[in-house]
Structure 1
């Protein structure tokens, strides 16, 4: 396994054919090397096939770690280096399920990631929260908001405002929450509403930036679209005077492994 994992580390730093060749070599050395399947999935141009590769990586990771390991170390995954290939594969599989329209299945995978690692080093909660709202599972979304109440990303206040609107409509309380969200990142409404000239998918971002807004809109856009009247409310309450949503540009979509 150690030699196969070393090949994967080399592959992560490589591009093109060499990257895939190193991953395949790692699998030949050790079929239980989960990161090798992750690498092949990341280079796959088809979401369905990528999902199958991630699923193979998940199973490889389970075999490599063993059932007893899961029982003894639940809650501490990711902090243990040997768990990270499995966690990467499971997250990738969840993202592919979202891309394939299987949001309910993806929720189960995201919840398993949080169960194994409540510290959520992978940022799984940022995908799970809006997904729960999109599926109408508002009570679960409220619980997740409370569990990670110290989250500082723009996703949290915008989802908090959306949940208030879904339950209360346009009220002073929901407007106050929306104002707090706009204060956290004023660029998000334009991205969600398709009014902004969007840059490429951000490799990194700072809080309150346009880059964060692109990431945030990709995550929460589906939840806002699935909430009756929410986009109209966002247009009316978050836009500056004189702005119009009549000329909408495509908003960024939630990024999936493809």
Structure 2
């Protein structure tokens, strides 16, 4: 049976003179599948809101009509924000330079187009500029959504198309803050985003777990691991195993590492230097495969190398599992 695909990332752009740390490497807007899905859902919503239906059957027939006729049946954008967002969806498929120009045009149409800020932030190699753009996007999102959304929609925040630009911008801001050394602020953003959307469609929990491990916040990390007990991604399982090895408060670390090795046996190959990491980050990551291992090791190799005895423990445990098999 084919394993399901997980989150998508892209390689980092070059580093500018205002920082020696890479800009965010998460594909907030250019990732495959984001634009087509959200654009169609938004246009469907516009189509339904512009029509009145007397029954469920009539509404279903209208949806079938929309599916058959395509997005042209949704009608033109009704607001400047919708006009700007349509431009951003078009820009997502354009080359970088054209994408940048279209994002600026979108903001000229509507200064509250959150994804336009996010798109520009992804295209800059300056951390300082990216931070300003992501922060502007977050502020715009708060204006668009209004304060009641952060109360009424808590718990299923990502389930609304309207909230997703805000969540993308805030995730980008958290990444920049972490890279600039503002660890507490970065962690706070991800924790609050998981409060808004505990289903975590964005995969924020993986970065949060590694950040809490990095800062030594065992209490918060324990709570986070308990919140997602059935997680099977390599990022999660190897982080948990390393954390248990560091704390040395129980004998569960070996079992946790064995579970991680079973989930993705490719991680030790890259962590122990048996195979070199590629120069570019895989654009698609599949659970249990080498591309998942590469993405994890690119993010977490420092955690392992700075933990005394961790790599030796990994090597020993990997050899033991190989003998058993």
TM over 0.5: yes
Pair 1:136-2:216 in alignment: yes
| Equivalent in the alignment of 1:213 | 293
Deviation of the 1:213 alpha carbon: 0.2
| Equivalent in the alignment of 1:248 | none
Deviation of the 1:160 alpha carbon: 2.0
Pair 1:196-2:260 in alignment: no
| Equivalent in the alignment of 2:96 | 16
> How far does the alpha carbon of each residue in 1:124-182 deviate from its partner, in whole angstroms, 9 at most, with x for none?
0011111101110122112111111111201222122112211227x853222212211
| Equivalent in the alignment of 2:112 | 32
Output the CA distance in 1 between the equivalents of 2:196 and 2:157.
5
| Equivalent in the alignment of 2:158 | 78
Deviation of the 1:226 alpha carbon: 4.3
Find 1:96's aligned residue among 176, 200, 219. Answer: 176
| Equivalent in the alignment of 1:167 | 247
Output the CA distance in 2 between the equivalents of 1:102 and 1:222.
18
Q: Which runs of 5+ in 1 are unaligned?
A: 242-258
Q: For the structure 1 residues 48 and 194, does the alpha-carbon distance in structure 2 shift closer, same or farther, using more than 3 Å as the test?
A: farther
Deviation of the 1:192 alpha carbon: 2.6
> How far does the alpha carbon of each residue in 1:32-69 deviate from its partner, in whole angstroms, 9 at most, with x for none?
11100001001001122112111111111111111122
Output the CA distance in 1 between the equivalents of 2:230 and 2:266.
21
* RMSD after superposition: 1.9
**Structure 1 residue ranges (4+ consecutive) displaced by more than 6 angstroms after TM superposition:** none
Q: For the structure 1 residues 108 and 194, does the alpha-carbon distance in structure 2 shift closer, same or farther, using more than 3 Å as the test?
A: farther
Pair 1:187-2:266 in alignment: yes
Moved more, 213-222 or 102-111: 213-222
Output the CA distance in 2 between the equivalents of 1:196 and 1:172.
30
- Where 2:157 maps in the other structure, the secondary structure is coil
- Where 1:206 maps in the other structure, the secondary structure is coil
- The two structures have a TM-score, normalised by structure 1, of 0.86
Output the CA distance in 1 between the equivalents of 2:94 and 2:275.
34
| Equivalent in the alignment of 1:249 | none
Matched pairs, number: 240
Moved more, 115-124 or 13-22: 13-22
Find 1:121's aligned residue among 181, 191, 201. Answer: 201
User: Does structure 2 retain, via aligned residues, the 8 Å contact 1:202–1:215?
Assistant: yes
| Equivalent in the alignment of 2:126 | 46
Q: For the structure 1 residues 30 and 234, does the alpha-carbon distance in structure 2 shift closer, same or farther, using more than 3 Å as the test?
A: same
- The two structures have a TM-score, normalised by structure 2, of 0.69
Deviation of the 1:235 alpha carbon: 3.3
> How far does the alpha carbon of each residue in 1:98-148 deviate from its partner, in whole angstroms, 9 at most, with x for none?
222222221011112111111100000011111101110122112111111
Q: For the structure 1 residues 183 and 125, does the alpha-carbon distance in structure 2 shift closer, same or farther, using more than 3 Å as the test?
A: same
Q: Which runs of 5+ in 2 are unaligned?
A: 1-80
User: Does structure 2 retain, via aligned residues, the 8 Å contact 1:134–1:222?
Assistant: no
Deviation of the 1:222 alpha carbon: 3.6
